[in-house]
Amino acid sequence: MPHPKNNNIFLVGLMGAGKTTIGRLLARKLNRRFVDADHEIEARTGATIPWIFEIEGEACFRRREADVIRDLSAQQGLVLATGGGAVLNPVSRALLAERGTVIYLRASIGSILQRTAHDKNRPLLQTADPRGKLEQLWTERDPLYREIADLVIDTGRPNVQSMVQTILDQLAAQENARARKHARTAMNEQAHITLNVELGERSYPIEIGAGLLDDAALLARHIGGHKVAIVTNTTVAPLYLDKVAGHLRAAGRDVLEIILPDGEEHKNWQSLNLVYDALLQNKCDRKTTLVALGGGVIGDLTGFAASSYMRGVPFVQIPTTLLAQVDSSVGGKTGINHPLGKNMIGAFYQPRAVIADTATLDTLPARELSAGLAEVIKHGAILDADFFDWIEANIEPLIARDRQAIGYAIARSCEIKSDVVRKDEREGGLRAVLNFGHTFGHAIENGLGYGAWLHGEAVGCGMVMAADMSARLGLIEPAAVERVRALVRAAGLPAVAPDLGEARWIELMEVDKKNEGGEIRFILLKPLGSPSITTAPLDVLRSTLAACSA
């Protein structure tokens, strides 16, 4: 488990907090060398700590202690248990903070008294009032421990193994957070990012960056075959069709242009048949590559056409909306709507590549941008609490289409989704968590009529409802619900659901792909940043519907 700062771990805390006991076991677990600073002082002087205090005085001991801290902290791969007063020296504090991961082992006064009651090697406690002395030391030193601590661990539990495992878990979480921060910085510095969806022989790249549609070589590299059919809609075609088709024609491709009506209400059999008709009329064979140039509707519909035309032809996703770039273009879910349910007709069919040109978001209406942010929020809420925190802190730059913020949001969302897809491509279990907010959201879309609310708007409101249900089931605190609601609103999304009527709500949610055995399954939070797939009692569902609907 690599750590920065020379791979050192420094344990600080009052005497009797367990630094030596925990340090030895932690060092064994991490395969590192353990050193107790007090023992090192005794080895160097040939005298015990009580003798040094009695003969030389505390000031002399502190100088020796500072020398030991200076020397040992300069080494690498060390677990060091410091003396309780080591932090009194400002130079020692600075060295510990600079050269290692500092863990403050915090123990209650009662616990320390119990552990040190018969220990004569604690010169500061050889007093008529050891409790009063400990309280004085706590008041003096606790702020200094917290000043330099990377982690604070309470050591009140008697099980040392459990405490060490807690430390290991926290160190791992800290390392993951550092890795994500490094990745975020790297992503912000890069104009063009390439991620990969790892699915064996069906793996494919996700290209993310501004101006990718101007890169003729990149388009030609990822869009193979002599004949290419570009499927787009009446909104996107005037903006980008000529550019993409022109680059492909210049590369020697025979390009067929298929322009469909725009909108969720057209994600149906009629539009799908328009694609089939064009392919058959132009004698497209199995080596024809389909290109989805547009948002989620075009991507889903084109992917389904590719999966079924001549039993499967290659296709490439070129998403032009934020929602499609962060979610629907990745993972191979394709399909169309049915009057009785959203996305009920479709197939799992992976693209050959995803090319996400973030410059296309410059022409995206504000309402569509907000709809895409719903899926960004979803990824953080359900699988990455740190990412959720980042979204909260950066929602204004995201709304303002700041290139670095948008680029990182897309890349991190694609990382999260591709990792889930790698583990569960066909939604046998884990992948269902990506439907957080969708059970309520799909009911809203169908209940109001497809196209009345954008998909992302319905998902945003659905996440608020799912968070509300999570709290009613005791899975999260009410404060977490308010965080979700506030962020959904800040993204420009509706946080109050339409009143469809209780019976209609339930009827619509009973037609959902996640349901099993006739029961409605919900994707909930437990806690914020982690998912729970469960059912809910009818009275809880009714309470959520009543609380969250207008």
Active site residues: 311, 333, 375, 417, 427, 431, 435, 438, 442, 455
- Sign of the CA dihedral with 221 first, then 224, 228, and 232 last: negative
Backbone angles phi, psi at 123, to 5 degrees: -60, -30
Two tokens, residue 520: 């409605």
Instruction: Compute how many other C-beta atoms are within 10 angstroms of the C-beta atom of residue 437.
Output: 29
Tell me the C-alpha distance between 79 and 429, whole Å. Answer: 41
Two tokens, residue 416: 């999260």
Please give the C-alpha separations between residue 275 and each of 198, 215, 224, 226, 425, in angstroms, as whole numbers.
29, 27, 19, 18, 26
Tell me the C-alpha distance between 446 and 454, whole Å. Answer: 11
Tell me the C-alpha distance between 422 and 195, whole Å. Answer: 13
Nearest CA-CA partner of 110 in 17, 11, 19: 17
CB 326 within 8 A of CB 375: yes
447-451 contacts, C-beta under 8 A, 24 or more apart = 447/498, 447/500, 447/504, 447/505, 447/508, 448/498, 448/500, 449/265, 450/263, 450/264, 450/265, 450/267, 450/337, 450/342, 451/263, 451/264, 451/265
CB 457 within 8 A of CB 373: no
Nearest CA-CA partner of 45 in 437, 267, 355, 37: 37
Give, as one character, the DSSP assignment of residue 170.
H
